[in-house]
C-alpha cells in the first residue's frame, strides 16, 4: 500500500515509518520539520526508503497532493508541548485542531482512495485517571483544586465523601476532562476524525497513547516527554526536576509497542470507528523514572524534588488496555528493558538541557507554583 505518515520525521512517526517500510509499503512522510523538535538540521535516523515532503499540515494544496495518491493515513503530526500550549494558544489550535480539520476537509471533499485513517490521540484528554473509593466505588474525579494543591496535599480525595482514593486503570469510557489546551486539541482531533469517519463511512481509529518513551525522542526539546527531559538533565550532570513529591504516576510505554498497536489497528477491521488506549497497563511514579535514569546513565545525582505543582498536572493516570488487548495487543517491553534501550541510544546523543528555561517560562506565566 501507499501510506502517508504525517509527522513521520518525529519520534513516534519515524519508528512507524521504519516498520511500514520493512513490511514493503511505499511510505510518504509529510512533516514540517518543526525547529523546536529537530533543531536546524534533519534527523540522522530518517528512513531512506521513504519519500519526504517538508510541509505543514495547514497547507491544504500540498497536503491534498499527497493524500490523493495515498491508500492509508497515519496522522501523527502535532505540536506536543502541554505547558507551552497554555501560552501559545492559537498556535496549538491552528497546528492541531485546524491542521486536522484541513486533512479531514480534503478527505471529505476530494476524490481519494484512502481506506483508513489512524490518528494519534492522547491520554491527556482524560485529565485525572480513574480511582476507587472504598465507600463510593469507581469514581472519575475532577482535577485537584488550587486550594488543595497549595496545602501540598497531593493525593486525590473522593469528591463525595472526601476519603483518600486509590488509582485504578483508566478505561476508554472515563469522562474526558482536559486540563491543558494541548489536551483540548487532541480531543478535537480525535472527535472530529471519528465523527467524519462514521458519517462518511471512512474507517477511522484513534489511539490514545499514554507516556511514550524510547530512542529518537527529542532530547533537547524541553516541551516533550519526561523521559527525554530527564535524560537531557542527567546527561548534562544536573538533577532531574521532579514536581510535587514525585509519587504521581503515569503509564510508560515503549515506542515500539506504540508502533505495534498502530500496525494492529491498521490490519484489523474490528478496530474501525473505535478509540483505544495504548499503554503498558502499569503505573510508575515519576520519582522511579528519575532514579532509574540516573542509575542507567551512571551518574552520581539525586532527583531534585521541587515540592511545587504545575497548573494542569494530574496525579495519576494509567491505562486499562483490555480493549486493545482483545485485538491481540500485548506490550512487549518491560520498563526496565525499555529504559535501558532509551539510555543506550541517549548515551550516544548530544542533548542541550533547556528544562530550566521551560520551567522559568511556566513560573513567569503563573503556570507553576512559585
Ligand atoms: N510522545 C508521547 O508521549 C505522546 C503521547 C500521546 C500522544 N502523542 C501524539 O503522538 C504524535 C507524535 O508525537 P511525538 O512524540 O512523535 O512528537 P514529535 O514532536 O517527535 O513528532 C511530531 C512531528 O510532527 C511534526 N509536526 C508538528 N507540527 C506539524 C505541522 N503543523 N505540520 C506538519 N508537521 C508537523 C514535527 O516536525 C515532528 O516531526 C503527536 O500527535 C502527539 O500528540 C505523543
Ligand atoms: Zn467516596
CATH 2.60.120.620 assigned to 2-130+169-364: no
Looking at residue 211, its pLDDT comes to 98
Where in the sequence of the chain do the CATH 3.40.50.720 domains occur?
Answer: 2-130+169-364
pLDDT tens string 288-298: 999 999 999 99
- The binding-site residues of ligand 1, defined as CB within 6 angstroms of any ligand atom, are 7, 9-13, 31-34, 37, 56-58, 76-80, 95, 99, 120, 122, 186, 209, 211-212, 218, 225
How far separated are the first and last CA of the chain, in Å rounded? 53
pLDDT digit string, tens, across residues 115-127: 999 999 999 999 9
Residue nearest to atom 4 of ligand 1 (CA): 212
- The Cα–Cα gap between 256 and 254 comes to 5
Nearest CA to 225 among 109, 117, 124?
124
In a 13 Å sphere around the CA of 333, the CA atoms on its Cβ side amount to 24
Cβ pair 72, 3 in contact under 8 A: yes
**CA quadruple 109, 111, 115, 119: dihedral positive or negative?**
negative
Model confidence pLDDT, tens digit, residues 11-61:
999 999 999 999 999 999 999 999 999 999 999 999 999 999 999 999 999
Backbone angles phi, psi at 56, to 5 degrees: -90, 145
Work out the pLDDT band at 304, boundaries 50, 70, 90. Answer: very high
Q: Using one digit for the tens of pLDDT, what is the confidence trace for 340-368?
A: 999 999 999 999 999 899 999 999 999 99
- Does the CA dihedral 177-181-182-185 come out positive or negative? positive
Task: Determine what percent of the chain is predicted with pLDDT higher than 90.
Answer: 98
Alpha helical stretches, state H, the chain: 11-22, 35-38, 60-68, 89-92, 99-109, 146-150, 181-200, 226-235, 255-267, 286-297, 322-325, 335-346, 355-364
**C-alpha grid cell for residue 215?**
530512542
pLDDT, tens digit, 9 for 90 and up, residues 164-173: 999 999 999 9
Distance of CA 241 to the CA centre of its chain: 20
Give the closest residue to 148 by CA, choosing from 128, 132, 133, 122. Answer: 128
Tracing cell 526496565 back to the chain, one arrives at 336
Name the nearest CA neighbour of 231 among 98, 109, 346, 123.
Answer: 346
Q: What is the mean pLDDT of residues 98-113?
A: 98
Give me the mean pLDDT over the 97-110 stretch.
Answer: 98
Q: Answer whether residue 223 shows pLDDT above 90.
A: no
Does the pLDDT of residue 192 top 90, yes or no?
yes
Q: What is the structure's pLDDT at 74?
A: 99
Mean pLDDT in residue range 88-113: 98
- Can you tell me which atom of ligand 1 is nearest the CA of 12? 16
Mutate to test the pocket of ligand 1, among 7, 62, 82, 125 (most ligand atoms within 8 A of CB): 7
pLDDT at 126: 98
C-alpha 113: how far from its chain's center?
29
pLDDT at 224 > cutoff 90: no
pLDDT at 266 over 90: yes
Q: What is the pLDDT of residues 135-171, one digit of tens each?
A: 999 999 999 999 999 999 999 999 999 999 999 999 9
Average pLDDT, the chain: 97
Answer yes or no: are the C-beta atoms of 46 and 14 closer than 8 Å.
Answer: yes
Asked if 130 contacts 138 with a C-beta cutoff of 8 angstroms, the reply is: yes
pLDDT, mean of residues 219-237: 93
Q: Which atom of ligand 1 is nearest to the CA of 121?
A: 7
- Compute the distance from residue 316 Cα to the ligand 2 centre, in Å: 17
Give the ligand whose atoms come closest to the C-alpha of residue 161: 2
Mean pLDDT, residues 266-285 taken together: 98
In the structure, ligand 2 is a single-atom ion and the residues with CB under 5 Å from it are: 133, 135-136, 158, 160-161, 163
Amino acid at each position: 500500500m501507499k501510506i502517508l505518515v504525517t509527522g513521520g520525521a518525529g519520534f513516534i512517526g519515524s519508528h512507524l515509518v521504519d516498520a511500514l517500510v520493512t513490511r514493503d509499503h511505499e511510505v510518504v512522510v509529510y512533516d514540517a520539520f518543526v525547529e523546536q523538535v529537530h533543531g536546524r538540521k534533519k534527523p540522522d535516523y530518517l528512513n531512506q526508503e521513504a519519500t519526504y515532503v517538508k510541509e505543514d499540515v495547514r497547507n491544504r494544496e500540498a497536503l491534498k497532493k499527497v493524500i490523493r495518491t495515498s491508500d492509508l493515513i497515519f496522522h501523527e503530526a502535532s505540536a506536543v508541548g502541554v505547558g507551552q500550549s497554555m501560552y501559545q494558544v492559537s498556535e496549538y489550535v491552528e497546528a492541531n485542531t485546524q491542521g486536522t480539520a484541513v486533512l479531514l476537509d480534503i478527505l471529505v471533499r476530494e476524490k481519494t482512495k484512502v481506506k483508513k485513517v489512524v490518528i494519534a490521540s492522547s491520554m491527556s484528554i482524560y485529565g485525572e485517571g480513574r480511582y476507587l473509593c472504598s465507600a463510593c466505588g469507581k469514581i472519575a474525579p475532577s482535577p485537584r483544586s488550587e486550594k488543595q494543591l497549595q496545602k501540598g496535599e497531593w493525593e486525590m480525595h473522593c469528591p463525595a465523601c472526601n476519603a483518600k482514593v486509590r488509582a485504578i486503570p483508566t478505561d476508554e469510557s472515563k469522562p474526558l476532562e482536559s486540563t491543558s489546551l494541548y489536551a483540548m486539541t487532541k480531543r478535537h482531533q480525535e472527535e472530529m476524525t471519528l465523527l467524519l469517519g462514521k458519517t462518511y463511512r471512512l474507517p477511522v481509529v484513534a489511539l490514545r497513547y499514554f507516556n511514550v518513551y524510547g530512542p529518537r525522542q527529542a532530547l533537547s526539546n524541553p516541551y516533550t516527554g519526561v523521559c527525554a527531559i530527564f535524560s537531557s538533565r542527567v546527561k548534562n550532570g544536573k538533577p532531574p526536576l521532579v514536581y510535587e513529591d514525585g509519587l504521581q504516576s503515569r503509564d510508560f510505554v515503549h515506542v515500539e509497542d506504540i508502533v505495534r498497536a498502530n500496525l494492529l489497528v491498521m490490519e484489523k477491521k474490528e478496530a474501525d470507528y473505535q478509540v483505544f488506549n495504548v499503554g503498558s497497563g502499569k503505573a510508575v511514579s515519576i520519582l522511579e523514572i528519575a532514579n532509574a535514569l540516573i542509575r542507567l546513565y551512571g551518574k552520581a545525582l539525586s532527583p531534585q524534588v521541587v515540592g511545587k505543582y504545575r497548573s494542569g498536572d494530574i496525579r495519576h493516570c494509567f491505562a486499562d488496555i483490555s480493549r486493545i488487548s482483545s485485538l491481540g495487543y500485548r506490550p512487549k517491553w518491560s520498563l526496565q528493558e525499555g529504559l535501558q534501550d532509551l539510555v543506550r541510544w541517549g548515551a550516544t546523543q548530544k542533548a542541550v538541557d533547556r528544562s530550566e528555561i521551560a520551567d522559568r517560562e511556566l513560573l513567569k506565566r503563573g503556570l507553576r507554583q512559585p
